[in-house]
């Protein structure tokens, strides 16, 4: 799998390169600034981009904006964003097009190699990988909103795992229930959030977006 990596801190960038290569990823480019990232994404057409939110020269959200611009030019380009802190606005921007292939992880997650690599692979495959802490804050902040208030405690558990990008099988395993039970919960969640029955596989992304768009 071919990767473009953007991280301005040399030690972290070098560590990520070594980790990804150890899991058989091919690093097409490992860059340290927004302009370099823009050029690499346009020219190299990677299978997935792993991008630090804050990059030179602005050190604000340049990495995210470069990745989003590349995603507009190439719809569906998988992008996994790494951030030091939870920023709901960033999560909203990533999910705004309603498509999959996006992820938002806190940098602390990189310390767990298997968890990080699993997230990269899920995003590259068109899924989502939202940091549990991001989802937890979203659920907490919108606990009083009507759509969330209508979810049962079990549906909230399923919603949180679903938003992290977990499959029904993985959710069933973690909650020690059957896949059929998980499917029923997800169906109820979609109904309560007003997401109509569709062949669109990205209703999971839309469910997360529904939370972000309220409040």
Mean pLDDT of all residues in 194-207: 66
Count of other CB atoms within 10 angstroms of residue 57:
9
Chain-centroid distance of CA 3 in Å reads 16
What proportions of the chain, in percent to the nearest 5, are helix, strand and coil? 55, 15, 30
pLDDT of residue 160: 80
The tokens for 7 are: 């991280």
CA distance 161 to 111: 20
What angle separates helix 153-163 from helix 179-192, to the nearest 10 degrees?
A: 90
User: Is the pTM of the predicted complex or chain greater than 0.85?
Assistant: no
What CA–CA distances, in Å, run from 142 to 27, 79, 123, 139?
Answer: 39, 26, 26, 5
Question: Residue range 163-170: average pLDDT?
Answer: 82
Give the pLDDT score at 195. 73
Say if CB 107 and CB 83 are below 8 A apart. yes
pLDDT band at 197 (very low <50, low <70, confident <90, very high): low
Looking at residues 140-153, what average pLDDT do you find? 66
SS3 164: coil
pLDDT single digits (tens) 96-112: 776 778 888 998 888 89
Closest CA relative to residue 83, chosen from 107, 109, 115: 107
Q: Which carries the bigger pLDDT value, residue 165 or residue 3?
A: 3
The pLDDT mean for the chain works out to 84
Residue ranges of domains in the chain, CATH in brackets:
2-130 (3.40.50.2300), 142-214 (1.10.10.10)
Is a pLDDT exceeding 80 seen at residue 153? Answer: yes
In this model, does residue 152 exceed pLDDT 90? no
pLDDT at 215 over 60: no
Q: pLDDT digit string (tens) for 181-194?
A: 999 998 888 888 77
Instruction: Say which residue, 190 or 135, is predicted with more confidence.
Output: 190
Give 82's strand partners. 52, 105
pLDDT per position as a tens digit, 4-28: 999 999 999 999 999 999 999 999 9
Using CA atoms, how far apart are residues 52 and 104, in angstroms rounded to an integer?
Answer: 10
Are 95 and 212 in contact, with CB atoms under 8 Å apart? yes
């Amino acid at each position: 799998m071919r990767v473009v990596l953007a991280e301005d801190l040399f030690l972290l960038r070098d560590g990520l390169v070594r980790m990804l290569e150890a899991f058989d990823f091919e690093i097409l480019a490992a860059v340290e600034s927004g302009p370099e990232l823009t050029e690499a994404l346009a020219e190299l057409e990677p299978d997935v981009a792993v991008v630090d939110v804050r990059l030179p020269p602005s050190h604000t959200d340049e990495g995210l904006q470069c990745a989003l611009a590349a995603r507009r030019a190439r719809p569906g380009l998988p992008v996994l964003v790494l951030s030091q802190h939870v920023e709901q606005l960033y999560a909203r921007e990533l999910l705004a097009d309603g498509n999959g292939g996006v992820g938002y992880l806190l940098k602390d997650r990189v310390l767990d190699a298997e968890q990080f690599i699993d997230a990269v692979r899920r995003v590259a495959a068109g899924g989502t990988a939202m940091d549990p802490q991001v989802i937890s804050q979203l659920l907490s902040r919108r606990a009083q909103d009507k759509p969330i208030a209508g979810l049962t405690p079990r549906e909230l558990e399923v919603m949180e795992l679903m938003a992290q990008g977990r499959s029904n099988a993985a959710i069933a395993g973690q909650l020690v229930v059957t896949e059929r039970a998980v499917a029923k919960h997800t169906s109820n969640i979609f109904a309560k959030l007003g997401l109509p029955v569709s062949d669109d596989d990205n209703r999971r992304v839309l469910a997360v977006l529904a939370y972000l768009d309220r409040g």
